[in-house]
Amino acid sequence: MGSYNADSGILTALASQLRLSATLEINELVHRQAAKGHKVVHLGFGEATFPIQQSVIAAHRQASDITSYLPVAGLMKLREAVAEFQSRRLNHKIHPRQVVIAPGSKPLLFALFDILQGDVLLPRPSWVSYEPQILHASKRVFWVETDEVDRHTITESSVEMAFERGVSEGGNPRIMLINSPSNPTGQAFSQQDIDIITAFCRRHNITLISDEIYADISFSENHGATPCSGSQFDDGQKILTGGLSKTYSAGGWRVGYAIFPNNGFGEKVQSAILAYASECWSAASAPAQEAAAVAFATSPEMDLYRSQVVALHKRCTLALYNALRECGLAVAEPKGAFYVYPSFHPYTQQLEALGIVTSQQLSHWLIEECGVAALPGSVFGEDDNGFIGGRYRLRMATSYLYFQSHAERYERGYETLALASDTRTPLALQLLDESILAIRKAVGKLRAVA
Ligand SMILES: Cc1ncc(COP(=O)(O)O)c(C=O)c1O
């Protein structure tokens, strides 16, 4: 076959750095254990799995023969629905022209990092894809440190320190990204937290991207604040992103959006995004946009669906949180989304005795020895050599604990959602019970280490 060498001269330096996501690695480990006949409870995947609301499914089916490209900015009906929904939520008029639709919010974030100037301030820990996206755009990341002790909030000193570090290391921090409720921590900002962040951004002329993909899954009235509410949205350099994937369990349909403020900054960034989109993804899928226009409606039936989704995620996620706390782990009470982010650092001595000194080793030990799959904190930016608790943090997602199969999702799903709001009815979630049991056994094993 000649002397052809596949290793050289094919990929760019940038492409050579790309890695498959950590979630896939966890999946592989889970499958390997399953092939050996070992049961593993799957807390590794953050994919919402509730049944899709019936009229949303019907709209998708009905639109399945629409095959034309839609406008780059999105279907007007959908932009109107998003604008109306967000006007009500943000208590401020959003015009449909301020909304851009895309195949998921992920490509929108990717494009924003590509077109905006400057380096990025990112809370530690943060969702797995931000850092690779930022590095891909030849930007630097400056981490804003957080801690479970104060529910991973961003303080004035932590954000100022990150900014100063960025400047002193020759960087140019001009962008900050926040995600509330957060993947991976499940934490969400209070109005006071938001005031600190927006004042900081104003002081240093920083563009604030607010990833609000989990914003509708909020458990606490005091922790659902956004920098984009009220007339202040139009005062500064802020961009809101969101989508269909989490609240509506329709990640695979690929619909996301960005909302730009009604000012010169917003117009400028929006036209750059549209030009980018026109050369990159053209438009999101037509049937999915038709369905999303129904999903984002402020109709009573969609309001009911959203409230049921919140109630079910809240009950399941808080049940897992309570169990973790009872096991003696360091964990902050989740305020939204479907994640719990415990640190095993109260068992540092036992973990070290087992030779476990990184979050990845901890995650492998839990899968292989205890049948619990969770993602290591290191994939969210945690520094195994930094703060002592950081190397023992894991993200546990509750989104796979509801149904054992796709068929069950639709056989039992609507009833489970309907019952969730009535807190007197016990939740019959076998996978949740199995997870709690497996975690208790794992902690029991640690306690038994001399
Ligand atoms: C924090 C966060 N932002 C954005 C996304 C991307 O969502 P999508 O591209 O499906 O809209 C995800 C998905 O996992 C996420 O967890």
Q: How far is the CA of 301 from the centre of ligand 1 (A)?
A: 25
Angle between helices 286-295 and 76-90 (to 10 degrees): 30
**Taking 70 as the threshold, does the pLDDT of residue 2 lie above it?**
no
The pLDDT score that the predictor gives to residue 1 is 44
Statement: residue 4 has pLDDT above 60: no
**Is 345 a residue whose pLDDT tops 90?**
yes
Query: What number of other Cβ atoms are within 10 A of residue 388's Cβ?
Result: 9
Dihedrals phi, psi of 106, to nearest 5 degrees: -60, -50
Q: What letter represents residue 214's amino acid?
A: Y
The pTM for the full model equals 0.95
Secondary structure percentages of the chain, helix, strand, coil, to 5: 50, 10, 40
Domain boundaries for CATH 3.90.1150.10 within the chain: 13-51+302-447
For 330-342, what is the mean pLDDT? 96
Token readout for 239 is 């961009």
- Residue 256 Cβ < 6 Å to ligand 1: yes
The one-letter code for the residue type at 234 is: D
Two tokens, residue 295: 């999903």
Q: Is residue 180 lining ligand 1, measured as CB closer than 6 Å?
A: no
Q: Residue 4 contacts by C-beta under 8 Å, 6 or more apart in sequence?
A: none
Phi-psi region of 254 (alpha: psi -120 to 50; beta: other; left: phi over 0): left
Whether 185 lines ligand 1, by a CB cut-off of 6 Å, is no
Distance from C-alpha of 442 to C-alpha of 366, rounded to nearest angstrom: 7
E-strand ranges in 244-295 read: 256-259
Q: Residue 157's pLDDT is what?
A: 95
Whether 163 contacts 121, CB under 8 Å: yes
pLDDT digits (tens, 9 = 90+) for 308-329: 999 999 999 999 999 999 999 9
Residue whose CA lies nearest to ligand 1 atom number 5: 106
Q: Is 211 in the pocket of ligand 1 (CB under 6 A)?
A: yes
> How far is residue 423's CA from residue 310's CA, in Å, rounded to a whole number?
13
Q: What percent of the chain has pLDDT over 90?
A: 84
Beta carbons within 8 Å of 258's beta carbon, 6+ residues apart: 99, 100, 102, 105, 108, 112, 239, 240, 241, 270, 273
Ligand 1 centre from 245 Cα, in Å? Answer: 7
Per-residue pLDDT at 266 = 98
pLDDT in tens, 152-197: 889 999 999 999 999 999 999 999 999 999 999 999 999 999 999 9
The string of pLDDT tens digits covering residues 230-281 is 999 998 899 999 999 999 999 999 999 999 999 999 999 999 999 999 999 9
Choosing from 245, 338, 379, 395 the residue with most ligand 1 atoms within 8 A of its CB, the one to mutate for a pocket test is 245
Distance 46 CA to ligand 1 centre (A): 9
Distance 71 CA to ligand 1 centre (A): 23
For residue range 354-377, what is the model confidence (pLDDT) as tens digits?
999 999 999 999 999 999 999 999
Q: Beta strands 119-124 and 372-373: pairing type?
A: unpaired
Q: How far apart are CA 333 and CA 318, in angstroms?
A: 7
Rounded Cα distance between 82 and 63, Å, is: 19
Q: Which residues contact 240 (CB under 8 A, 6 or more apart)?
A: 86, 210, 212, 226, 228, 233, 258, 259
Q: Given strand 119-124, what is the order of strands in its sheet?
A: 99-102, 256-259, 238-243, 207-211, 173-179, 119-124, 141-145
Residue % of the chain over a pLDDT of 70 = 98
Under CATH, to which class is 13-51+302-447 assigned?
Answer: alpha beta
Count of Cβ atoms closer than 10 Å to residue 31 Cβ: 11
| Residue spans in the chain of domains classed CATH 3.40.640.10 | 66-297
C-beta of 251 in contact with ligand 1 (< 6 A)? yes
Other C-beta atoms closer than 10 Å to the C-beta of 303 total: 12
Q: Which atom of ligand 1 is nearest to the CA of 108?
A: 9
Question: Domain 66-297 classified CATH 1.10.1670.40?
Answer: no
Which pair of tokens denotes residue 406?
């796709």
Among 99-108, 305-314, 385-394, the least confident range: 385-394
- Determine the pLDDT at residue 363: 95
376 Cβ inside 6 Å of ligand 1: no
Maximum Cα interatomic distance, the chain, rounded to a whole number of Å: 72
- Which helix (DSSP H) or strand (DSSP E) does residue 149 occupy? none
